[in-house]
Structure 1
Amino acid sequence: MIDTAAHHAVRRRKAPSVHAVLPDPRRWRILPVILLATFMAAFDYMVVNVAAPSLARDLGAGPAALELVVGGYGFTYAAGLVTGGKLGDLFGHRRLFLLGMAGFTAASLLCGLAASAPELIAARLVQGLAAAAMAPQVLALITAAFPAGERPRALAWFGLTISLGGIAGQVLGGALLQADVFGLGWRVIFLVNGPVGVAALAAAARLLPRRAPAARPGLDPVGALALTLALALALVPLVVGREEGWPLWSVLSLAAAVPALAAALAWMRRLAVRGGEPLLDLALFASRPLRVGLLVNVAVMASFGGLMLTTTLLLQGGLGLDAAHAGLVFVPLGAGTMTAALLGRHLAARLGSRALLAGNALGTAGIALLALELHLAGASAGAPLIAAPLALVGLGSGLTMPALTGTVLGGVRPERAGAASGILTTTQQFSTATGVAVLGAVFFSALGHHPTPAGYAGAAEHALWLAALLYAAATALVTRLPRPQAPAAAPVSAPVSAAAPDTKAPVSA
């Protein structure tokens, strides 16, 4: 009898801690709000491509200015992601998300009001920095809010959103330009972020939990500057080198990026040995899923970035389609991505890396099929013939992105989630820029100085075979990933697993 009373007393004492670690009851209302930030960041990365002719005409922007308008956003976005993730770990993911969203919305309005190319370039650089503060917090907030059993489903929506954001930049961007809403022309692609951003800010301020970080990591300004410099040495020539004809400075800059990155990592290693807290916790890379998953990211995103560029050039340059009609060709790609992400999320949750293997195989097959069609049909390959393989790539992407994100971040503790998310997103952005530069160089080298429709088809074929090879390499790398057990659904009354201890953090003022 005494033992029974003592047992119930222990259970009563433990009850508050159980309730303290319950998942956030508003998590499924929070998810669409934070995913909107992911969509906006990806959308604005791609949408400027379809507006380039209008910018050249209205602002008198030359090729170099257009490259900076398009690539400047990508540079500041990619260069600031790791620091943005670390700042989220330090000051709180809610706070950084709100600041980033506010800055992104304001910068978008400045882009839409720009009266000259230099003004637009400056606003785009600020927009990229704001996106770098906002985007890494999304995965960190998902990690903190969702228990292990529900996280694959949330990550499926994340993968769908990041894929559709880039595709919508092509499709919706072309439609907005064609509609010429209120006679705004190209400005509408930026001004549309105003009401969307304000609505997202209001919803996020109301819904996101006010949790103080469980631990406050230190700042590493030297590491942040060193890593930014190393990324700049690589990204700037990748962004503008092709249009400038790969001058000597671009080659030297790329060559200097490797030792600069090595020096930045050496500094962080020494800082960690001395007991400091470096910008990058290099212990994260001890995780085999993270290491291999990042390599898969490099191959997949480089291939996808090259595919989007090559197909756009083929449609507009070779087939003579305008921006709106060229964008419609990408609709099957988006539809395939949505279908696979929505219907295949259970497959991704159950099979883990095997779903990733299936997705990469589908992506490889789709790109290879498109290259084969161009080889056989040449310039007579019309838009419907091009759209069909893109749907297959979309199905592969819809399976790949959620499983890949879950694989990379699955073993990361929530207090490191911001930094790990920054590493993942930086890898994706850097790989996309590399794919655009490398496959773009292959395309234009094969195209020559006197392009014809048949020349465009042949040049696209060359680039697409390389894209298919990259996707095939990703498929081979997936076989090196461990095959995790399917996560069991967490019961409502049970404590959240150790993967989400952030829910026990004290409430901030």
Structure 2
Amino acid sequence: MRSGWTLAVLLSAWFMAQFDFFVVNVAAPSIERELQAGPAALELIVGGYAFTYAAGMITGGRLGDRYGYRRMFVWGVVAFTVASVLCGVAATSAQLVAARLLQGLAGAAMVPQVLAMISVVFPPHERARAIGWYGAAGGLGSIAGQVLGGLLLTADVFGLGWRIVFLVNLPIGLVVVPLAARLLPRAETADPARLDLLGAAGLATGLALLLVPLGLGNSAGWPAWTWICIALSVPVLALSGRWQYVLGARGGRPVLDLALLKVHSYLAGVGAITAFMAYFASFMFTLTLLLQGGLGLNALQAGLAFAPMGVAFSVTSLLGRRLVRRYGLIVVVCGGAVTALGLALLVAGAGLGLPYVMVALTCVGLGNGLVLPQLIGAALVEVASHQAGIGSGFLTTMQQFAGSGGVAVIGAVFFAVGEGGRQDQAMRWSAAIDLGLILLVIAMVAYAGRRAARIARRAPSTAAATRGA
């Protein structure tokens, strides 16, 4: 029972972070009207959270390794709640931009501790179930941002308008903080080594140089500064990586533990998750544009159109662990095939009406639930407990980077093809690219499955013991 409450507390924070990532898409028109936000301010309100969230994630994971996961989780939730209130009471677009940047940083301190504590606190026989719930909570948070966001705006709760989508985090935070302080165990792996501030600043700067132009470049027409930033990100990230190697060779503790890159299952998991999130974030973005632009739905109707996808995702994400334990990674491959079927339906006829689109969405949700939670579990299975924080931070950073990059690149294709009101044709092109990404995920999972089978044949006794666990 206690482990169930512990997991619920941890996942509530992860749900909030994902919810706030997507809900602003629904609230953006209302924010634009009330605060008189221009295009640049609106893009920073929507994308600023993602920028600071992704750029600070690796450092957030390392802070958890150094100062303790419970401590960083509690303070991260406190900061996230305060930042949410600041978003909700913002009087100008500039204030809202600043609060969103702070909210992203708070999320970067909070979220890596969730997977880290799951990896450290839960024993192996419970960890797979916990990670399955983690995947379900993340997917539901993403979809709830569309569905609940539309409901909250339409209901105009307490007459707060768009502000309610941020202020709703206040009661959640007031409940989660005392419960976390009371229930979460002291799974501390505090490290007395000094924090690598130079490495943290270098990695954050390099990621920002990539994420900012990717997020703002398309709507700005890709001016020169976007390409300069992208070009500068290469040497900045290269020098930061070199510094990580040098510091590690000297016996220091770099912010990014390069030993993780030698763990084949972790690398394969990161690669598969990167491809999956590039597809998923861009799919949610372009589908919202299709529903509201091509099919003429309002915010509430468009949000409700995501509901079958969310229900399907919830069911298969919870069943996936048992199916994988019984049948192996072929279940994940089949899940990817079902997602591919849904995308293929959209490629064939995105403009055939809402019922057709919702059938395709249901297929996508069924497949996603079998894929995403299992990818997360596979990535972390060989990560040592003292690397749990940084491993989770890097994994989540790649998720956010892939999401931002996918939205920028595939969103650019959507806007280019969709000029003149051809959103259905634009969705077909976008879904075709997403289909290619899903096929890449299937190939990587199949490779991982073959590798796991070879390892099992070499060490049958170990494999039997693992299945018994």
Higher Cα radius of gyration: 1
Q: What do residues 296-323 of structure 1 show as CA deviations (whole Å, max 9, x unaligned)?
A: 1111110111111111001111111111
Kindly indicate whether the alpha-carbon contact (under 8 Å) linking 1:352 and 1:483 is maintained by their aligned counterparts in 2: no
Structure 2, unpaired ranges of 5+ = 454-462
Q: Is the alpha carbon distance of 1:217 and 1:27 closer, same or farther for their aligned partners in structure 2, counting shifts above 3 Å?
A: farther
User: Residues of 1 paired with 2:143 and 2:366: CA distance?
Assistant: 13
Aligned to 2:439: 472
Aligned to 1:336: 312
Kindly indicate whether the alpha-carbon contact (under 8 Å) linking 1:150 and 1:489 is maintained by their aligned counterparts in 2: no
- 1:394 is the counterpart of 2:370: no
User: Residues of 1 paired with 2:110 and 2:8: CA distance?
Assistant: 15
Q: Is the alpha carbon distance of 1:212 and 1:180 closer, same or farther for their aligned partners in structure 2, counting shifts above 3 Å?
A: same
1:148 corresponds, among 124, 149, 152, to: 124
- Once the two structures are overlaid, the 10-residue window that deviates more, 350-359 or 390-399, is 350-359
1:418 corresponds, among 389, 396, 399, to: 389
Aligned to 1:14: none
Q: What's the TM-score once normalised by structure 2's chain length?
A: 0.95
User: Residues of 1 paired with 2:467 and 2:446: CA distance?
Assistant: 24
Structure 1 residues 420-499: aligned runs within 5 Å: 420-448=391-419, 451-452=420-421, 455-481=422-448, 482-483=451-452, 485=463, 487-488=466-467, 490=469
Aligned to 1:236: 212
- Once the two structures are overlaid, the 10-residue window that deviates more, 364-373 or 38-47, is 364-373
User: Residues of 1 paired with 2:399 and 2:329: CA distance?
Assistant: 18
User: Residues of 1 paired with 2:389 and 2:112: CA distance?
Assistant: 6
Q: What do residues 256-279 of structure 1 show as CA deviations (whole Å, max 9, x unaligned)?
A: 222221111011001111111111
Q: What do residues 404-453 of structure 1 show as CA deviations (whole Å, max 9, x unaligned)?
A: 011100000111100000011001010000110011000111122xx22x
User: Residues of 2 paired with 1:214 and 1:307: CA distance?
Assistant: 40
Aligned to 1:116: 92
Structure 1 residues 304-323: aligned runs within 5 Å: 304-323=280-299
Report how far residue 291 of structure 1 moved: 1.0
- Once the two structures are overlaid, the 10-residue window that deviates more, 248-257 or 136-145, is 248-257
Kindly indicate whether the alpha-carbon contact (under 8 Å) linking 2:274 and 2:398 is maintained by their aligned counterparts in 1: yes
Kindly indicate whether the alpha-carbon contact (under 8 Å) linking 1:109 and 1:194 is maintained by their aligned counterparts in 2: yes
Kindly indicate whether the alpha-carbon contact (under 8 Å) linking 1:89 and 1:217 is maintained by their aligned counterparts in 2: no
The one-letter amino acid of 1:299's match is A
- 1:107 is the counterpart of 2:62: no
Kindly indicate whether the alpha-carbon contact (under 8 Å) linking 2:120 and 2:187 is maintained by their aligned counterparts in 1: no
Structure 1 residues 193-212: aligned runs within 5 Å: 193-212=169-188
Report how far residue 351 of structure 1 moved: 4.4
Kindly indicate whether the alpha-carbon contact (under 8 Å) linking 1:92 and 1:211 is maintained by their aligned counterparts in 2: yes
Structure 1 residues 12-411: aligned runs within 5 Å: 26-213=2-189, 215-374=191-350, 378=351, 381-411=352-382
The one-letter amino acid of 2:11's match is L
Between the aligned residues of both structures, percent identity stands at 50
Kindly indicate whether the alpha-carbon contact (under 8 Å) linking 2:88 and 2:163 is maintained by their aligned counterparts in 1: yes
Q: What do residues 122-147 of structure 1 show as CA deviations (whole Å, max 9, x unaligned)?
A: 00000000000000000011111111
User: Residues of 1 paired with 2:325 and 2:70: CA distance?
Assistant: 27
Kindly indicate whether the alpha-carbon contact (under 8 Å) linking 1:137 and 1:418 is maintained by their aligned counterparts in 2: yes
The one-letter amino acid of 1:366's match is G
The one-letter amino acid of 1:460's match is M
Report how far residue 214 of structure 1 moved: 5.9
Report how far residue 210 of structure 1 moved: 2.5
Report how far residue 359 of structure 1 moved: 2.1
Report how far residue 26 of structure 1 moved: 2.3
Aligned to 1:21: none
Kindly indicate whether the alpha-carbon contact (under 8 Å) linking 2:205 and 2:236 is maintained by their aligned counterparts in 1: yes
Report how far residue 355 of structure 1 moved: 2.9
Task: Name segments (4+ residues, structure 1) moved above 4 Å.
Answer: none
- Once the two structures are overlaid, the 10-residue window that deviates more, 292-301 or 346-355, is 346-355
Report how far residue 352 of structure 1 moved: 4.8
User: Residues of 2 paired with 1:240 and 1:290: CA distance?
Assistant: 31
Q: What do residues 9-48 of structure 1 show as CA deviations (whole Å, max 9, x unaligned)?
A: xxxxxxxxxxxxxxxx722220011000110000000000
User: When you count helix as a share of all residues, which structure comes out higher?
Assistant: 2
Equivalenced residue count is 457
Structure 1, unpaired ranges of 5+ = 1-24, 491-509
Q: Is the alpha carbon distance of 1:271 and 1:331 closer, same or farther for their aligned partners in structure 2, counting shifts above 3 Å?
A: same
Kindly indicate whether the alpha-carbon contact (under 8 Å) linking 1:447 and 1:458 is maintained by their aligned counterparts in 2: yes
The one-letter amino acid of 1:401's match is L
Q: Is the alpha carbon distance of 1:215 and 1:352 closer, same or farther for their aligned partners in structure 2, counting shifts above 3 Å?
A: farther
Report how far residue 386 of structure 1 moved: 0.7
Residue 209 of structure 1: SS of its match in structure 2?
Answer: coil
Report how far residue 363 of structure 1 moved: 1.6
Report how far residue 483 of structure 1 moved: 2.6
User: Residues of 2 paired with 1:155 and 1:57: CA distance?
Assistant: 40
Q: What do residues 91-150 of structure 1 show as CA deviations (whole Å, max 9, x unaligned)?
A: 000000000000000000010000000000000000000000000000011111111111
Kindly indicate whether the alpha-carbon contact (under 8 Å) linking 1:152 and 1:349 is maintained by their aligned counterparts in 2: no
Report how far residue 216 of structure 1 moved: 3.8
Residue 246 of structure 1: SS of its match in structure 2?
Answer: coil
Q: What's the TM-score once normalised by structure 1's chain length?
A: 0.88
Residue 45 of structure 1: SS of its match in structure 2?
Answer: helix
User: Residues of 1 paired with 2:7 and 2:381: CA distance?
Assistant: 18
